[in-house]
Structure 1
Amino acid sequence: MPSAKLKQTTVTIENQNSEFRANGQVILFPGYMKVYVEGKDDPKSIVANKENVLPGKKRK
């Protein structure tokens, strides 16, 4: 089974005193991830759809 292909995104916001960094990824091609779900082999684990879409950002 081929590897999954993901697109990584990082947004960094800085000011004089602080830095905020947000990371995310989007699945471009699911590959092996289509048949394998982390925690699926543990009957006590609840598998939920954990995909969340972040809001768009404005560029200056």
Structure 2
Amino acid sequence: MLGRKQEINLKLNQIADGLVLIAAFWISHKLRYDNYGGIWPESVKIPPFKDFIWLMAIVVPFTPLVL
């Protein structure tokens, strides 16, 4: 029974890690795209977040392997 509980805990941790990773990518894109604080020059624009969603499909499933 303890093994099953550990498996469930591991899966929940992996899901939480994936959600944190997606949130980190989104927040970093939002800061860069909207240029909060004027850190980056105005002339440098990045594509909208929808152009990077395909990257999430590659990065998120393989993140637990790296961790």
Where on the TM-score scale, by shorter chain, does this alignment land: which range? Answer: under 0.3
Please give the TM-score of this superposition, normalised by the length of structure 2.
0.24
* Structure richer in helix, relative to its length: 2
> Relative contact order: is structure 1 or structure 2 higher (C-alpha 8 Å, sep ≥ 6)?
2
